[in-house]
């Protein structure tokens, strides 16, 4: 009797435990589903998080940069308004020397070089055209306040004083760049005129006239060696930094009216002078002449 009661009590306990375990499982199911939902949402939002993170960082950096710029402007304004904050003149000159060194290093492979002197710096400007090294010029600068040119070898017809007045005190790099442009363009124009006189003199029916700056050239030339047809050319280089003319006038030497063929040739010559260096134009005339002679023979 007692054994039967004990067995019954054990079954009752197991039934209660089973019932409790069932209730616990039912309570845990929503928690598991919630955890699974959170995990899925996290996985889904991970790419968006990776995208938004750098965007957020970039925005933060922008804000910090603006704040630094504002602080810099405020600091500059305070320095400018505070008479007790002064930069020594010697320090200013030292900064200009360092700036000059950097400029010389930057321009070393563009034909500009130089060395420091006891007064400042001596700059050498080497000119070139179409890979041909031409003349070199120097400018000896005294680094004082204000900067000034001690002596130089720049030709008198180069507007050195005008360039210096415009840039020397405010932008030394622009001063050197403008001077290099003018000198290289002058050397290029002179090189073309010299080549025309030395290599294609047989095409000229008179002297080549040019001014010292070589920005105005005039000459008479024939397009065939028989001399039956001649043209007069006037080339004006209004831009002193250019090696191609900006204003071209080609006229027929004879007074009678041009035929359609000669007018077409005249217009063609103007186009050649506008787009090609002078010696290249006459090299093309020489090729045409040689081709005509070979066909005639």
CATH number, residue 99: 3.30.457
Residues with Cβ within 8 Å of 247's Cβ and at least 6 positions away in sequence, in order, are: 235, 236, 238
CB 160 within 8 Å of CB 154: yes
Inside any domain, residue 193 = no
Query: Rounded mean pLDDT of 14-25?
Result: 56
pTM of the model: 0.62
In this predicted structure, the answer to whether residue 22 has a pLDDT above a threshold of 90 is no
Percent of the chain whose pLDDT exceeds 70: 58
Kind and range of the H or E element at 122? Answer: strand 120-129
Amino acid 230: pLDDT:
87
Which pLDDT score is estimated for 40? 58
Is 192 part of any domain?
A: no
Q: Which domain holds residue 61?
A: 1-83
Looking at the structure, do residues 103 and 119 belong to the same domain, yes or no? yes
Measured CA to CA, the distance from residue 188 to residue 145 in angstroms comes to 35
Whether pLDDT at 143 is above 80: yes
Total structural domains in the chain?
3
Summarize the confidence of residues 232-243 as an average pLDDT: 96
Domain boundary among 141, 161, 187: 187
Residues 29, 51: one domain? yes
pLDDT score, position 27: 53
179 in any annotated domain: yes
Same structural domain, 109 and 167: yes
Using the 3D structure, point to which of 32, 48, 83 is the last residue of a domain. Answer: 83
Considering the domain architecture, whether residues 74 and 95 belong to the same structural domain is answered as: no
Q: 219 - beta bridge partners? A: 233
Q: Which two tokens stand for residue 127?
A: 């000119």
């Amino acid at each position: 009797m007692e054994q039967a009661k004990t067995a019954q009590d054990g079954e009752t306990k197991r039934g209660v435990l089973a019932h409790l375990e069932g209730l616990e499982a039912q309570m845990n199911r929503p928690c598991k589903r919630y955890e699974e939902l959170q995990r899925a949402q996290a996985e889904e939002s991970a790419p968006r998080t990776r995208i938004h993170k750098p965007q957020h960082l970039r925005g933060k950096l922008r804000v910090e940069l603006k704040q630094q710029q504002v602080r810099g402007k405020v600091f500059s304004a305070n320095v400018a308004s505070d008479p007790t904050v002064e930069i020594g003149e010697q320090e200013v000159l030292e900064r200009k020397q360092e700036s000059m060194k950097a400029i010389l290093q930057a321009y070393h492979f563009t034909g500009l070089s130089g060395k420091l002197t006891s007064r400042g710096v001596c700059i050498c400007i080497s000119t070139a055209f179409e890979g041909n090294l031409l003349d070199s010029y120097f400018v000896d600068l005294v680094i004082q306040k204000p900067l000034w040119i001690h002596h130089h070898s720049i030709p008198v017809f180069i507007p050195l004083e005008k360039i210096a007045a415009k840039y020397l005190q405010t932008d030394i790099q622009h001063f050197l760049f403008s001077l290099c442009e003018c000198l290289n363009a002058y050397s290029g124009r002179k090189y073309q005129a010299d080549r025309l006189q030395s290599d294609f003199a047989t095409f000229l029916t008179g002297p080549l006239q040019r001014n010292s700056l070589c920005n105005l050239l005039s000459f008479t030339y024939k397009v065939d060696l028989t001399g039956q047809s001649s043209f007069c050319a006037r080339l004006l280089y209004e831009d002193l930094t250019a090696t191609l003319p900006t204003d071209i006038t080609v006229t027929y030497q004879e007074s009678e009216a041009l035929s359609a063929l000669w007018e077409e040739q005249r217009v063609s010559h103007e186009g050649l002078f506008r787009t090609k260096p002078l010696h290249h134009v006459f090299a093309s005339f020489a090729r045409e002449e040689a081709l005509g002679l070979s066909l005639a023979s």
